[in-house]
Structure formats: C-alpha cells, structure tokens
Structure 1
C-alpha cells in the first residue's frame, strides 16, 4: 500500500515512516525538502498519485497566531483538495487533546480549524488527538521561566512519548477510517508542575518549578482537565520514568 506522510522528516513523521516501511508499505516522506509543499501545492499531485493513505503530521514553522492559523488552513485545503483528486481512501491527521477546550490558545484553535477542514472534506478520515510530547518538556520549561523560576499553570498533565505517538499513528493509517477523533496519552497523569519538575531533576537542571494560577500555556488559560483526556483514551506503553532513563542515556 502506498502511504504518503506529510511532514515525514519531523519528530513524529520520521518515526512513522520507519514503522510503515518496516511493515512492508511503500512510503513517501513528503516535505518541502523533498519537493512537496502543502502551502503552495507544489509537488502534491505527483506525490499523491496512486496513494491510498495520507498521514498529515506537519507542523507550522511559526506559533504566531495569524501565521499558525494561515498554515493549517492553507496547508489543509491544498492537501485535501489534492487527496480528493487522487481518490485517497484514508486521511489521518495528528491533532492535540483539548483543542476544543482552550479558545484563547491560538495554536489549539488553529488545530480546531484544521480538524474542521478534514471533517468537511469528504475524504474518509481518522483524527488522532495526542497529549503533549515528552520530548517537548524541556521547551515547555524554557518558555515558562519568569525571573529564574519555571511557572506553570495549575492543572493535570499526561505527556506521551513520540515513539508511542508514531506507533499509534502508523497503526491508525493501516486501519479502517474512524470518521471521528480519538485521544491518546501517556501512562502517567500528575499536576503539570510535578511532571516538569521530574524532568528537570532527571537532567540535572536545578531551576525551581512552581504552580501558578496566573500562568498560561502558550497564551491559553488552563483548568484542571484542559490538557488531559476527559474520557476513554488509548494509553501509550512508555512511562515517564522509562522515557527519562532513555533520555539521560542519550
């Protein structure tokens, strides 16, 4: 089966490509560096020729509100139009748990817009909503520093390892289109500040971490369950401690 992975050179895309190829599929890792640009449409029709499945794990190069919305809307429209023309039978999008619960988070709202395009496209689809990646814990800490202290919003956090995300995305791509979204998350759920504090301690970073009710998550207001699944979710295999052991060894 031919599968095209949009964003195939990124954190999740590169892992997904390997898993699908190892399973015997013909996989095209599509990105601007390989001549496939979803923003301009360049190379899309050629890349999708004969494809049965498209996996979209591309990310915006900018988190600025207008830019990120423009990226996901433009990219989504171009990609889905090309999929309809190529008679693609299954579109898989990677999104975020809680996108529809944080109206003041511009990135999350851009993903809501992307999801709507997918649902309205007429292409059979599955939407995988993941919690935040363990690989992003360092960046989250760095962007939350105020006067030397990492200040994080109140609420629960349940990060998932990129390897688990890729595994579930690859499995979804080779399955039957769901026609809906489903949530995936890591095994460990705890207050946001405790998760990040465990990460910093594991890498020898002694910056203090506190829970601050005034803190925001990329501009968004966080309540207790903003960033975790509310109901049933697919749980990854890799625990935070297991991931940290591997992280320290690299």
Structure 2
C-alpha cells in the first residue's frame, strides 16, 4: 500500500514512516523539508500521487488562536489535494477529550480539524490519543519556579509516542473507521502525580504543589482527558519508560 505521512519528520511522523516501511509499505514522508507546504498547498499533489492512505500528524507552530486558521487552511488544502489524487483513506491524529475543552484555543483548533475531516467525502479515521510521555518535562517546566512545580490534579492517562505510532500504523493499514478511536496509556494518574514521578526519576528534590489554576491544563474540566469506553490501552507504563530513558 502507498501511504503518505504528512509531518513525516517529526516525533510521531518519523517513527511512523519507519514502522510502515518495515512492514513493506511504500511510504512518502512529506514535510516542509521535502518541499511540501500545507499552508500554500505547494508540493501536495506530488506527495499524494498514487497514495491510498494519507496520515496527517502535522502540527500548528503555535498553540494560541493562530492555530485555528492554521488547521482550517492546512486541512482544507490536504483534503482537496486528496480528492484530486483519489486518496481512499484520510487519517488524522488528535487528542482525547479535545472537543470538551473550549477554553483552550489549540483544542478548539484540533476540534475544527476533526470536523473538517468528518465533513469531507473521503473515508476517514480519527485517532485520539492522550498526552505523550515525551512532553511531560515541558509540562512541568511551564509551571516551575524556584524548585516548586505547580500543577492541577487533572486526571490523565499519558502514553509513549511509540505506542501512538503502533496504533496509527494499525489504523492506517486497515479499513477506514469513519469515526474515532481513543488510545491511551495503561496508568490513570493525576497531573501532580505525574510531576512527582518525573522528579523522582530524575533524582530531583523539587516539590510538586497542587494548584488548580496552574498551566494550560487548568482549563480542563473534570476527567475529559481520559479515554472513553472501547479505548485501546497501550502497554507501556510511565515509570518503566522513565527507567528505560535513564539508561539510554
């Protein structure tokens, strides 16, 4: 099968390209570095020529209100190019609970991305995932001051990027879902717990304080970032992943 991965050089895209190629698929890794510009549409027709499936793991360069026009334009360009090329399956990577956090511009933008995909005539699959293990250091850094990390007690179920890739590869090579699949890590934790686990793995003596108003996740209501019934649960535990990373 010929598959085009949009955003094929990023954290998820680069791993997905390798996984699909190792499985014997003909894969095009499309990105700005390969001459594909989603905002202008330049290079899209060539990147999608002959593709059966397109997997979009591209991302907005910002997380503010500018992400809304970014996704409106890029998804429109991608879907139009896909129709011209005869693409039979459009796959998008999204976020668990994304449509339930209207207080975050970026989440509203990702919801728009999903809506545009559903309105397209092309069969589609939306893979919603939870927060990546790889981004937890950044989450902590946003609210750290003088060795104190302030985090809300938001329930989360973080996931390894490699497990995200495995789920995307399965969906991309299968029949279109014409719906949404939730994918999450195996451990239900609160964000402040994640902070303490992370600091302990680093050997960092910093303190984690529960602060309901700290950071971007302060806008998240209840447990909406945790998966719903029928979710695919990944095998990798956060504590095990941290131990592996420490030995690399």
- With the length of structure 1 as denominator, give the TM-score of the two structures: 0.96
CA distance in 2, matches of 1:226, 1:143: 21
Query: Who is 1:87 aligned against?
Result: 86
CA distance in structure 1 between the partners assigned to 2:141 and 2:41 by the alignment: 35
- For the pair 1:60 / 2:60, whether they are aligned, the reply is yes
Does residue 220 of structure 2 align to residue 222 of structure 1?
A: yes
Moved more, 68-77 or 221-230: 221-230
Deviates more, 1:203-212 or 1:150-159: 203-212
- Other-structure match for 1:239: 237
CA distance in 1, matches of 2:198, 2:163: 18
Aligned residue number for residue 13 of structure 2: 13
Is the CA contact 1:13–1:57 (under 8 Å) kept in the aligned structure 2? yes
Q: Please give the per-residue CA displacement for 1:189-212, whole angstroms capped at 9, x wherever unaligned.
A: 111100121012102222211221
**2:101 equivalent to 1:102:** yes
Structure 2 distance, partners of 1:117, 1:189, is: 31
C-alpha distance in 1 between matches for 2:187 and 2:180:
22
Which residue of the partner structure matches residue 126 of structure 1?
125
Please tell me whether the aligned partners of residues 154 and 223 of structure 1 are also in contact (alpha carbons under 8 angstroms): no
Aligned mates of 1:155, 1:83 — CA distance in 2: 38
1:55/1:91 contact within 8 Å kept: yes
Equivalent in the alignment of 1:185:
184
How many residue pairs get matched? 248
How far apart in 1 are the matches of 2:107 and 2:24? 34
SS at match of 1:37: coil
Deviation at 1:238, TM superposition (A): 0.8
Aligned equivalents of 1:159, 1:199: Cα separation in 2: 12
For residues 153-176 of structure 1, give each alpha carbon's deviation from its aligned partner in whole angstroms, at most 9, with x where no partner exists: 222111000000001001100000
Distance 1:80 1:146 in 2: 44
Superposition pairs of residues 66-215 of structure 1, within 5 angstroms: 67-146=66-145, 148-215=147-214
In the other structure, the counterpart of 1:25 is 25
Q: Deviations over 1:112-142 (max 9, x none)?
A: 0000110001110000000000000000000
CA distance in 1, matches of 2:95, 2:191: 16
Q: Which blocks of at least 5 consecutive residues in structure 1 are unaligned?
A: none
Displacement after TM superposition at 1:146 (Å):
4.3
Structure 1 residue 214 displacement after superposition: 2.1
Q: Is the 8 A contact 2:142 2:215 kept in 1?
A: no
